[in-house]
Amino acid sequence: MKTQWLNGRIRMLPWTLPSLVATSVAVLGIIVATAAITRPATSPELEIRGADISFTLQEEANNQILSANGQTAPLETILAQHGANYARLRVWVNPPKGTSDLVSALTLARRAHAAGLHILLDLHYSDSWADRTTQQTPAAWQGQTLEQLRSTVETYTRDVVAAFARQATPVAMVQIGNETTHGMLWPTGQIYKQTGEDWTGYAELVKAGIRGAKEASPGNSNIPLIMLHSDTGGDRGASTYYFDHLRQQGVTFDVIGLTYYPFWNGSLASLQENLLVLADRYSKDILIAETAYPWTLSSGGGVQSVVTSRDALPDAAAYPPTPQGQAHFFEALNQILREVPNGHGVGYLIWEPGWLPGVPADARTGNSHSNLTLFDWWGHGLPALDAFRPTGTAGP
Q: Which residues are catalytic?
A: 179, 290
Grouping H, G, I as helix, E, B as strand and the rest as coil, residue 245 is: helix
> Within the chain, what is the greatest distance between any pair of CA atoms?
58
Distance CA 384, CA 326 (A): 6
Strands of the chain (E only): list them: 48-52, 67-68, 71-72, 86-91, 118-123, 173-176, 192-193, 196-197, 225-230, 255-260, 285-291, 345-351
Q: Which helix (H) or strand (E) holds 388?
A: none
Count CB atoms within 10 A of the CB of residue 227: 25
Kindly report whether the peptide bond that precedes residue 187 is cis, defined as omega within 30 degrees of 0: yes
Find the radius of gyration of the CA atoms of the chain. Answer: 20
Q: What is the DSSP letter of 181?
A: T
- Distance between CA 41 and CA 52 in Å, rounded? 30
Q: Are 335 and 42 in contact (CB under 8 A)?
A: yes
